[in-house]
Chains A and B, each alone.
Chain A
Amino acid sequence: MTETQLLPSGKPIISQLEMLNITKRFPGVIANYKVNFDVRSGEVHALLGENGAGKSTLMKILYGLYQPEEGQIKLDGKEVSIHSPVDSIDLGIGMIHQHFMLVESLTVAENVALGLPSSRGFLTDLDKVSERILELAEIYGLQVDPEAYIWQLAVGQQQRVEIIKALYRGAALLILDEPTAVLTPQEVDEFFITMRQMIDDGHALIFISHKLHEVIEISHRVSVLRDGQMIGTIPTKGATKSKLAEMMVGREVGIKKDRFETDTSEKRLVLENVSALSNRGTPALTNVTLDVRSGEILGIAGVSGNGQRELAEVITGLRPVTGGKIILEGEDVTGLTPKQLMNRSLSYIPEERMKDGMIKEFTVAENLILREHDLEPFSKNGLLNLKTISAHSEKLITSYNVKTPSQETMAKNLSGGNIQKLVLAREISRKPHTLIAAQPTRGLDIGATEYVHLRLLEQREEGTATLLISEDLDEILALSDRIAVLFEGEVMGVLHQSEATPEKLGLLMAGVVE
C-alpha cells in the first residue's frame, strides 16, 4: 500500500480489517472464543450463524459497544483499540442496525446531523448538511430528499437514510445487520445494486443475514460462527445452501418436506369484509375477505406493518371489528371474547411470543396451562390439580422436545427456540380445529425453524385449518397451499401455491396489481 486510495466520499479506504483471537465472555456464556475474522476493501464478507452463535457480539465488539477480553483488532495492519462507537466511527467503521436508529418526527437532514457538532456552534447548519447529503446521494445513487420527514418514507428509503448517515460520518467499512429482513424482494434487488456499487468504490462490507440465497448472491466470502467459535471462512463461489446450513447447524439439515393431499372440503374460518382500526385509530384492515379450509395452510404474505398483526388479533377476539363478519365453523363469532373463541377450538401462536405468548416469571408447567388452567382436568371447583398439571407438562416437554432443566424452571431461563416449542406445545396439543400462527419462526435458528415447520405441516395433515402469517416469503412459499397478500390492510390477491412466485408476490406486497 504505497499511497492511500480515497473513496468517493473523500475518505481513505480501509484495505483490510482483522479481528484476531477475539474472546468475549458473559456471565455463564462464552459468546466468542478465539474468533478470527477479516474483511477487505472491495468485498462483501457475509457472517452467518444461528441465534446466539456470537455474530452480533462480534460485530458489537467491532463497533465498540463491547470490549473483548482477549484478542486484537488490526486496521490496515496496525493494532487499534475501539472503546466506543465514537472510536469506531473515527476509524471509518459504520453500522446499519437491523432496527433503524432514526427519529421519525425529524427530517432526513436532521437525523443525519443528530449527534454531530454543528459548523456554526450553537446554531444548526442543516443547509450545509442537506447539501452534503445531496452530494453523497448523487455519488452513491441513493435517492433521498433531505427535507422529507422519516415517517413519510418507506422502509427501503429509511434504510438509504441509514446508509447515508454512515457515509456522512465517513464510513469506509459498513456492518449491515440483517439489512434485508424488512425489505420486499424488489427492494432487496435495489439494495444489492447499492451494495455492489459501494464495493466497486472500495468500501468493505460485512453482511449479516439468515437468508442463505442472499448470502450466496451478494457475498465474496462467507464466515460461519457456531456456539461462539469460528467454524470456517470459505469463498462463496462453490458454496451451496445445504453446505452453509450444515456448517451453521453442525449437522445435515433436511429441507425436503413431504406434502400429502388433505381433505379441504370444509370452509372452517371465513372473513367477510372485515375492517378494523390500528392502535392509533387509523384503518388497519379494510374489507378483508378470506377463507381458510380444513387441512390447508393459508399463508398471509406482506411487508411488516400492513395489517398482519391486526388480522390475527381480530380473528382471535383481541381487537374489535369495525365492520364485517367472522364465521368460525359455520357460526358467526364476530365480537366473541378470546376465551369464547378458544373454547371453539381456536388456537393462537402470537407474533411476540416473549410478550404475549408466555409469562417469563412462571414455570414451564404453569405456562403450559395458561389457556386451560380453569378447565378440567387441570382444575376442578377452582382448585388446581397439580398432579395432572405436572404429568401433562412432563408429557409435552418430552413430546415437543423442550430443553429445560425441569418443569419447575422459570420460562425466562429457556432459549428462544425452546420458548416457541413451549407455545407450540400449548397451542397444538389441544388439537385445535383452527390455528392462527403469527410469525411462528421469527428470530428462531434453522433447527428450531425446521421443527416448527414440521409441526405446522403435521397439523395440516390432521385437518387443522391454519392461517400462517409470515414476513418470510420462503417460509410462506414452502408451507402454504394458498397465499393471500396484505398491503395497507387490504387483500391484494390470493394465489394458489403452484402459481405463486417471489416476483408475483413481491409486486402484490408492494401494492401493485397487474
Chain B
Amino acid sequence: MNRKRQSEVVSKLMDALLPVFAVLAALAIGAVMLIILGANPIEAFGALLEGAFGSANALADTVVKATPLLLIGLGICISFRGNVINIGGEGQMIIGALMATALGLAFPEWPGLLMITLAMVVGFLGGAVWGGIPGALKAYFGVNEILSTIMMNAIAVQLMNFLLAGPMIDPVQAGKASKIPQTARLSNAFDLPRLIPTRLHLGALIAVILAVVVYILLWRTTLGYRIRAVGQNQDASRYAGIDVKRQVVLALLLSGAFAGLAGAIQVFGVNHRMITDGSATGFTGSAGFNGIVAALFGQLHPLGTIPASFLFGALLVGANKLQRVVQVPSAVITALNGLVVIFVVSSEIWRRRRETKRRTEATFEMEIEELHPPPAQDLTANEEGVS
C-alpha cells in the first residue's frame, strides 16, 4: 500500500512537471533551429531569459504583456467550459478599447478614478455586446460561432480603422497631410496607476483578482454550474430544465466582456491612445488568439491561466531580446512560440490519457474489493460432471 502511495505521489509530480518538460523539449528543437541559422543557442536563450526576467523592468514588461492574455484567457475559460468556441477575442478587445477610448476622449475633465472605473465598465460592456451578438446568433439561429466570431473580428477592425481615420482622429493629425490614423492622447489623469516604478500598471492586479472571481463564478455559482452543465451535455441540461440557449448566449457574452476589458486596460494602462496600422494585431498583438492558447495551457482553469499567461508573456518579451542579440529572422520567434504550443498541448493530451488510465484502475480496484472470492475452482469440477 505504501509503495502504491509513493508511486501515486511520483506520478502526480510527473503531471505537474509535464508542461515544464514540454517547454524544455520545444526549446531544445528551437536550439537546433538556431544552430542551423548559425546562432549560438546558449547565448540566444540567455538573451531570452534576460529579456523576460533579467531586470525589474524586464519582469514588469513580461507581466504587462501577460495581462491581456490572462484577461482574454479568463473569458476563454468561461466560453470553452460552456462548449462555445470564441475566436473573436481580437474583435471584442478592439470594441472594448474603442468604447473606453471614446468615453475618455469625450470627458477629459472627469476625475481620473471615476473615469478609469467607468472606462473599465464600458470596455467590459463593449466586449459583452460584441460577444453577445454571435452568442445570440448561435443560440437562436444556429449560426456557427467560430465563423461568426471571426467575421465579427473583421468588422471590428474595419470599424476601428474607420473611426481612427475619421470621427475619432487626433485633431493634430487631422490637420496634417500624413493623417496618421490615431486618436489624441488620453488625459494623463486617466493613466492606470503604476504599481512599482516600472511600466507595470494596475491592470495586472485587476486581471489576477478577476481570475479568482472567474474561478468562483464557474464553480461556486449557479450560473457557472449551468454554463458548465450545458457545455458538457446539452441534452441532460435541457431535460433537467435548464434554458440551454440562454447559457450559450451568456457564455459567449461573458467571454467577450473579458476581452473588451482587456482592450480598455491595454489603452488606459499601456498605449494611452489608440493607433492602427490597419490590422487587428497592430493593436492587440494577437492577444485574442494567444489568450486562447494560454487558457488551454492553463487547462481551462482560471487559476491555471495565470502562470500560463505569464509564461507566454515571458516568451513574447524574451523573444524580442533574443532576436536583437543574436540577429535571427523574426520568423524564428514565431516558430519557437508554435513549438511551445505544440509540445504543451501534446503533453496535455498525454497527461489526460494517464489520468483516465489511473481512474479506471482505481475504479476497478474498488470493484474487486467488493467482489466475493471467485467460485471458479469448484464449479469447473461441477461443470465437468454435467457435460
Q: Which of B134-189 contact A (CB under 8 A)?
A: none
Q: Which residue of A lies closest to B387 (CB)?
A: A233
Residues on A with beta carbons closer than 8 Å to the beta carbon of B375: 231, 250
Residues on A with beta carbons closer than 8 Å to the beta carbon of B362: 405
Chain A 384-428, CB-CB to B under 8 Å as 1, else 0, gives: 101000000000000000010100011001010000000000000
Binds B, one of A105-113, A293-301, A354-362, A452-460: A354-362
Say if the beta carbon of B1 comes within 8 Å of chain A.
no
Q: List 14 A-B contacts (CB under 8 A).
A: A28-B357, A28-B360, A28-B363, A36-B383, A233-B386, A338-B241, A356-B236, A358-B236, A362-B228, A371-B241, A373-B222, A383-B220, A383-B222, A386-B220
Evaluate contact between B379 and A232: CB separation under 8 angstroms: yes
Q: Which of B223-263 contact A (CB under 8 A)?
A: 223, 225-226, 228-229, 232-233, 235-243
Q: Which of A212-256 contact B (CB under 8 A)?
A: 221, 227, 229-235, 250
Q: How far is the CA of A229 from the CA of B243 in the complex (A)?
A: 47
Chain B 369-387, CB-CB to A under 8 Å as 1, else 0, gives: 0111011100110110011
Chain A 85-113, CB-CB to B under 8 Å as 1, else 0, gives: 00000000000000000000000000000
Chain B nearest CB: distance from A156 CB in Å?
31
Say if the beta carbon of A430 comes within 8 Å of chain B.
no
Q: Which residue of A lies closest to B382 (CB)?
A: A232
Main secondary structure of the interface of B (DSSP, over half): helix
Q: A27-B357, A382-B221, A403-B367 are in contact. List 12 more A-B contacts (CB 8 A).
A: A28-B363, A29-B360, A36-B380, A230-B379, A316-B239, A318-B238, A339-B241, A361-B232, A362-B228, A371-B240, A384-B222, A386-B220
Chain A nearest CB: distance from B146 CB in Å?
22
Among B225, B239, B360, B367: residue with most chain A CB under 10 A? B239
Say if the beta carbon of A337 comes within 8 Å of chain B.
yes
Say if the beta carbon of B366 comes within 8 Å of chain A.
yes
Given contact pairs A221-B387, A355-B236, A359-B233, A33 touches B221 in the complex (Cβ within 8 A) = no
Q: How far is the CA of A69 from the CA of B349 in the complex (A)?
A: 28
**Among B238, B372, B386, contact of A234 (Cβ-Cβ < 8 Å):** B386
Evaluate contact between B229 and A362: CB separation under 8 angstroms: yes
Evaluate contact between B222 and A232: CB separation under 8 angstroms: no
Evaluate contact between B239 and A229: CB separation under 8 angstroms: no
Residues on A with beta carbons closer than 8 Å to the beta carbon of B109: none
Evaluate contact between A357 and B376: CB separation under 8 angstroms: no
Q: How far is the CA of A358 from the CA of B376 in the complex (A)?
A: 36
Given contact pairs A221-B387, A337-B241, A405-B362, A379 touches B222 in the complex (Cβ within 8 A) = yes
Chain B nearest CB: distance from A125 CB in Å?
44
**Among A27, A233, A358, A410, contact of B383 (Cβ-Cβ < 8 Å):** A233
Say if the beta carbon of B110 comes within 8 Å of chain A.
no
Evaluate contact between B374 and A227: CB separation under 8 angstroms: yes
**Among A221, A230, A371, A384, contact of B220 (Cβ-Cβ < 8 Å):** A384
Q: How far is the CA of A358 from the CA of B237 in the complex (A)?
A: 8
Evaluate contact between B361 and A235: CB separation under 8 angstroms: no
Evaluate contact between A370 and B236: CB separation under 8 angstroms: yes
Evaluate contact between B360 and A342: CB separation under 8 angstroms: no
Chain A 470-483, CB-CB to B under 8 Å as 1, else 0, gives: 00000000000000
Evaluate contact between A360 and B232: CB separation under 8 angstroms: yes
Chain A nearest CB: distance from B120 CB in Å?
22
Say if the beta carbon of B12 comes within 8 Å of chain A.
no
**Among B226, B360, B374, contact of A413 (Cβ-Cβ < 8 Å):** B360
Chain A nearest CB: distance from B4 CB in Å?
15
Given contact pairs A27-B361, A230-B376, A383-B222, A370 touches B371 in the complex (Cβ within 8 A) = no
Say if the beta carbon of B194 comes within 8 Å of chain A.
no
Say if the beta carbon of B359 comes within 8 Å of chain A.
yes
Given contact pairs A366-B225, A373-B222, A357 touches B239 in the complex (Cβ within 8 A) = yes
Q: How far is the CA of A413 from the CA of B239 in the complex (A)?
A: 21
Evaluate contact between A231 and B379: CB separation under 8 angstroms: yes
5 A-B pairs closest in CB distance: A339-B241, A28-B364, A338-B241, A370-B240, A28-B360
Q: Which of A24-75 contact B (CB under 8 A)?
A: 27-29, 33-34, 36
Q: How far is the CA of A27 from the CA of B360 in the complex (A)?
A: 8
Say if the beta carbon of A307 comes within 8 Å of chain B.
no
Evaluate contact between B226 and A342: CB separation under 8 angstroms: no
Chain A 366-385, CB-CB to B under 8 Å as 1, else 0, gives: 10001101100001001110
Chain B nearest CB: distance from A281 CB in Å?
17
Of the four ranges (under 10, 10 to 19, 20 to 34, 35 or more), the interface on chain B belongs to: 35 or more
Residues on B with beta carbons closer than 8 Å to the beta carbon of A28: 357, 360-361, 363-364
Say if the beta carbon of A350 comes within 8 Å of chain B.
yes
Q: Which residue of A lies closest to B358 (CB)?
A: A28
Say if the beta carbon of A348 comes within 8 Å of chain B.
yes
Chain A nearest CB: distance from B77 CB in Å?
15
**Among B225, B237, B238, B376, contact of A229 (Cβ-Cβ < 8 Å):** B376
Evaluate contact between A235 and B386: CB separation under 8 angstroms: yes
Q: How far is the CA of A355 from the CA of B236 in the complex (A)?
A: 6
Evaluate contact between A356 and B235: CB separation under 8 angstroms: yes
Residues on A with beta carbons closer than 8 Å to the beta carbon of B229: 359, 362, 366, 370
Q: How far is the CA of A386 from the CA of B232 in the complex (A)?
A: 20
**Among B225, B374, B387, contact of A373 (Cβ-Cβ < 8 Å):** B225
Evaluate contact between B232 and A362: CB separation under 8 angstroms: yes
Given contact pairs A362-B229, A382-B221, A229 touches B374 in the complex (Cβ within 8 A) = yes
Residues on B with beta carbons closer than 8 Å to the beta carbon of A361: 232-233
Residues on B with beta carbons closer than 8 Å to the beta carbon of A366: 225, 229
Residues on B with beta carbons closer than 8 Å to the beta carbon of A341: 241
Chain A nearest CB: distance from B243 CB in Å?
8
Q: How far is the CA of A29 from the CA of B240 in the complex (A)?
A: 33
Chain A nearest CB: distance from B124 CB in Å?
19
Chain A nearest CB: distance from B230 CB in Å?
10
Given contact pairs A232-B386, A366-B225, A413 touches B363 in the complex (Cβ within 8 A) = yes
Residues on B with beta carbons closer than 8 Å to the beta carbon of A338: 238-241
Evaluate contact between A413 and B359: CB separation under 8 angstroms: yes
Q: Which of B281-295 contact A (CB under 8 A)?
A: none
Residues on B with beta carbons closer than 8 Å to the beta carbon of A234: 386
Chain A nearest CB: distance from B12 CB in Å?
16
Q: Which residue of B lies closest to A353 (CB)?
A: B236
**Among A356, A373, A382, contact of B239 (Cβ-Cβ < 8 Å):** A356
Q: How far is the CA of A384 from the CA of B218 in the complex (A)?
A: 10
**Among B219, B222, B367, B376, contact of A34 (Cβ-Cβ < 8 Å):** B376
Q: How far is the CA of A33 from the CA of B243 in the complex (A)?
A: 48
Q: Which residue of A lies closest to B229 (CB)?
A: A359
Q: How far is the CA of A92 from the CA of B236 in the complex (A)?
A: 44
Residues on A with beta carbons closer than 8 Å to the beta carbon of B359: 410, 413
Evaluate contact between B364 and A33: CB separation under 8 angstroms: no
Among B222, B242, B370: residue with most chain A CB under 10 A? B222
Q: How far is the CA of A405 from the CA of B223 in the complex (A)?
A: 28
Residues on B with beta carbons closer than 8 Å to the beta carbon of A373: 222, 225-226
Q: Which of B97-112 contact A (CB under 8 A)?
A: none
Chain B nearest CB: distance from A249 CB in Å?
11
Evaluate contact between B374 and A342: CB separation under 8 angstroms: no
Residues on A with beta carbons closer than 8 Å to the beta carbon of B370: 403
